Amino acid sequence: MAVVAPFRALRYNPDHIDDLGRVITPPYDIISPAEQDAFYALHPYNMIRLELGKTAPDDTEDNNAHTRAARYLVQWRRDGVFMREPQPAFFPYELHYPLGDGRKTRKGFFGLLRLEEFGTGCVRPHERTFEKVKSERLALMERCRAHLSPIFVLFSDPEGRVREVLFESGVSEEAARCADSQGSEHRLFRLSDPKRVRRVHELMADKDIFIADGHHRYETALNYRRLMMKAHPDAPAEAPFHYVLTYFCPMEDDGLVVLPTHRLLPRVDVPSANEFLEKGRPFFHVLSFPRTDAGRKDWHESLETFRARRETAIGFIHKGDDAFRVLKMDPSATRAFLTEKGFPQVLQDLDVVVVDHLLLRGLLGLDDAYLSDAENIRFCHDRDEALETVLSGEAVMGFFVNPTRVDQVRDVARAGLIMPHKATYFYPKVYSGLVMHAMDPEDVVELPTA
DSSP category for residue 134: H
Contacts of 301 (CB under 8 A, 6+ apart): none
Predicted confidence band of residue 175 (pLDDT cuts 50, 70, 90)? very high
The pLDDT of residue 101: 87
Dist. CA 265–CA 250, nearest whole Å: 36
Q: Using DSSP bridges, classify how beta strands 313-318 and 397-400 pair: parallel, antiparallel or unpaired.
A: antiparallel
pTM across the whole model: 0.94
For helices 131-144 and 65-78, what crossing angle results, to 10°? 30
- 100-104, 239-243, 261-265, 357-361: least confident range: 100-104
How many residues make up the chain in this entry? 450
Tell whether the model's pLDDT for residue 100 goes beyond 90.
Answer: no
Report domain extents, the chain.
4-257+428-438, 260-402
The pLDDT of residue 212: 95
Dist. CA 280–CA 359, nearest whole Å: 8
Tell whether the model's pLDDT for residue 1 goes beyond 90.
Answer: no
DSSP category for residue 241: G
**Residue range 272-292, pLDDT digits in tens:** 899 899 999 999 999 999 999
For helices 131-144 and 215-231, what crossing angle results, to 10°? 50
Contacts of 339 (CB under 8 A, 6+ apart): 345, 348
**Residue range 55-80, pLDDT digits in tens:** 999 999 999 999 999 999 999 999 99
Contacts of 368 (CB under 8 A, 6+ apart): none
Tell whether the model's pLDDT for residue 450 goes beyond 80.
Answer: no
